[in-house]
Structure 1
Amino acid sequence: MSGGGGHGGGRRKKHEEHEEHENHERWLVSYSDMMTLLMVLFLVLFAMSNVDKTKVILLQEGFNQAFGTNTVLQGSSSVLQSSASDSAGIDMAAGAGPAGQMTESEKALVKKAVSAAELAKAQARMLAAEAEANNLSEAQKKITAALKQKNLQGDASFAIDERGLVVTIVTSSVVFTGDSAILRPVGQRILDAVGPTLRVLPNDIEVDGHTNQLPVPTVNYPSAWELSTARASAVVRYLNRLGIAGDRMRAVGFAGTKPLISPSNPESVGRNRRVEIVVLSDLPDDTSSLLPAAARTT
């Protein structure tokens, strides 16, 4: 009896120890569930923060454009500010990505902001083109005055195109003789008048040589390509002797491929045979293309 009771007591003891073991490790299950829920919560919050981030950035740009200030939504974090450039590439029209979840009013605001931003960029480009055209016009006035002092004002013409300021010198017999790339004394006097203004400008310079379209064979050069390039190179060498750095200049020959006026015009024989000194603009292409219009307004 007592032995049996002892055996039964032993079984109860083991059973009680087993229950205590289960109670001791149950917290691991709760801890694991809690960590899983926290991970899901943070993932949801992260996804929501991406959506809000895009909306805040786009709305901030819209408000800034509408009110002409950068103080709207100034409390945005540096993370949002650093992500503004990434958000600019979102295809809002297609509704792809987080921006596609914006409301219609938000989309309208963003569309207005984008239009305003494009207009502001266009205005900034035009202002830059006008400033450049003013600088080139001042250079033209100085060159014109120097030519007038030497009574050579009729030997050069000027234009401002998308490249910059173009000083056109008709070569004919004034600057070069036929089939020759040797500068004549009058040509040297023209460059003596042009050189001082070019020397103090910060712009690079391109000298373009052009021949007319007459099918006259060259004797001293294989073709009109070499003749036009040699004439441009002769001008570059002379300008270099006047103190213009060689690394600012380049010589290009176009033969008769870029006529100034139509070859059907009787004057084309003399006027298309020319050298062009181009004061190159350093503006971006989308801005330098506005130079002709800007020159007309100035």
Structure 2
Amino acid sequence: MSSGGGKRKQRHEEHEEHVNHERWLVSYADMLTLLFVLFVVLYSMSDVNMKKFAQLASGLSSGFGAQSVAFQGQAGPMDGSGNAAEIVQIDPGANPGDGKAGSSSLTAAQQQAVKAAMAAESRAQASKNAQAATKEAENLKKIENKISDSLAKQKLLGSVKFTIDRRGLVVTILTNEIVFAGNRADLQPGGRKILDAIAPTLVKLPNRIEVDGNTNQLKAKTTFYPSGWELSAARASTTVRYLVGHGLAKDRMSAVGFSDTKPLIDPKDPRSITMNRRVDVVVLTTLTADQAALLPAAAGADAKLHTGETSVQAGK
């Protein structure tokens, strides 16, 4: 016994901390909530406005006449105007950004109608391009007539040839000894006279002007230049500088040297020695690439190398 009067000192028992075995329910509920939100978002992204799609199909069908039957589908519930809305099946798994949404579920007739619509659009664009090319060819011909009028007054019409290609109107100046001396890029008095007749018409145009220098195929050594590349580029630059000095804006001009890589006629032709040695002043077209590709066909006979036609001759 102890001296404490026979009372035992009670011990304090330590109990194990209570473990909550239902905490997983909180995480599970959070996961379900997130999944629900995900499905709502996915559903909202894939929902298609059938009424608007039916209106689009109806508009296409009425626009293409005989193909209208291709867009007929099942009659759906009444729309706001009291008419039965047309239902067209759409594949919700298709990517709307790839241009193929719903195409796999269209009927053969509907797919044929879509092809017909695309073909009609292509034909309309081709017709528009052809009309633009025809109008541009007429405008370029008028420019040729004005330049020819000035050359004819100076009795120089025979010194220049014309072509209409996909670039625009090409005014070809044969660089014989009258224009440039052999192996030289300095304009002779005869060359300045030709450019004086051409410049007034070019100044009034909105088009950009490109000057191309070309040499013939002869392998003669270029005394003052390393090769035909430098000689052809120098002649083009000299021509540009002269035209700028006579009123053409610098930002409209460009100079290119082609050496002997772009012969005007077959190098085997005896005339090529003089005709391939030339400077081309090109009035660049403002058409798009697709429209410009049709320019030679629209120009007809003017697409081939020819002597300039004056306004009087064109009137006849």
Report if TM-score (shorter chain) is over 0.5: yes
Q: Deviations over 1:115-155 (max 9, x none)?
A: 10000010111111111111111100000111001000000
Task: Tell me, yes or no, if structure 1 residue 133 matches structure 2 residue 113.
Answer: no
Task: Return the letter of the residue paired with 1:141.
Answer: N
1:42 offset after TM fit, Å?
9.3
Q: Distance in 1 between matches of 2:288 and 2:152?
A: 34
**Alpha-carbon spacing, 1:182–1:163, altered in 2? closer, same or farther (3 Å):** same
**Alpha-carbon spacing, 1:40–1:134, altered in 2? closer, same or farther (3 Å):** same
1:112 offset after TM fit, Å?
0.8
Q: Distance in 1 between matches of 2:63 and 2:99?
A: 19
Secondary structure in structure 2 of the residue aligned to 1:243: coil
1:192 offset after TM fit, Å?
0.7
1:58 offset after TM fit, Å?
5.8
Contact map agreement 1:212 1:268 (CA 8 A) in 2: yes
1:51 offset after TM fit, Å?
6.8
Instruction: Determine the structure 2 residue equivalent to 1:294.
Output: 298
**Alpha-carbon spacing, 1:253–1:108, altered in 2? closer, same or farther (3 Å):** same
Q: Distance in 2 between matches of 1:169 and 1:124?
A: 34
**Alpha-carbon spacing, 1:166–1:108, altered in 2? closer, same or farther (3 Å):** same
Q: Matched residue pairs, number?
A: 242
Contact map agreement 1:179 1:218 (CA 8 A) in 2: yes
Contact map agreement 1:208 1:253 (CA 8 A) in 2: yes
Task: Return the letter of the residue paired with 1:253.
Answer: G
Instruction: Determine the structure 2 residue equivalent to 1:156.
Output: 160
TM-score (norm 1): 0.73
Instruction: Determine the structure 2 residue equivalent to 1:208.
Output: 212
**Which of 244, 247, 266 lines up with 2:248 in the alignment?**
244
Task: Tell me, yes or no, if structure 1 residue 105 matches structure 2 residue 104.
Answer: no
Contact map agreement 1:59 1:110 (CA 8 A) in 2: no
Select between 193-202 and 42-51 the one with higher mean Cα deviation.
Answer: 42-51
Instruction: Determine the structure 1 residue equivalent to 2:48.
Output: 49
1:283 offset after TM fit, Å?
1.4
Identity of aligned pairs, percent?
Answer: 44
Task: Tell me, yes or no, if structure 1 residue 265 matches structure 2 residue 274.
Answer: no
Structure 2 residues without counterparts, runs of 5 or longer? 1-31, 67-80, 82-94, 303-316
Secondary structure in structure 1 of the residue aligned to 2:280: strand
**Cα RMSD (Å) of the superposition?**
3.0
Structure 1 residues without counterparts, runs of 5 or longer? 1-31, 68-74, 76-85, 92-96
Select between 115-124 and 51-60 the one with higher mean Cα deviation.
Answer: 51-60
Q: Distance in 1 between matches of 2:64 and 2:183?
A: 61
Contact map agreement 1:59 1:109 (CA 8 A) in 2: no
Q: Distance in 1 between matches of 2:126 and 2:166?
A: 16
Task: Return the letter of the residue paired with 1:49.
Answer: V
Q: Distance in 2 between matches of 1:162 and 1:208?
A: 15
Instruction: Determine the structure 2 residue equivalent to 1:90.
Output: 99
1:278 offset after TM fit, Å?
0.3
Contact map agreement 1:66 1:113 (CA 8 A) in 2: no
Instruction: Determine the structure 1 residue equivalent to 2:63.
Output: 64
Secondary structure in structure 1 of the residue aligned to 2:198: helix
Task: Tell me, yes or no, if structure 1 residue 143 matches structure 2 residue 109.
Answer: no
1:100 offset after TM fit, Å?
2.0
Task: Return the letter of the residue paired with 1:167.
Answer: V
**Which of 162, 172, 175 lines up with 1:171 in the alignment?**
175
Task: Return the letter of the residue paired with 2:48.
Answer: S
Secondary structure in structure 2 of the residue aligned to 1:129: helix
Q: Distance in 2 between matches of 1:297 and 1:99?
A: 47
TM-score (norm 2): 0.69
Contact map agreement 1:62 1:110 (CA 8 A) in 2: no
Instruction: Determine the structure 2 residue equivalent to 1:276.
Output: 280
Q: Which has the higher helix share?
A: 1
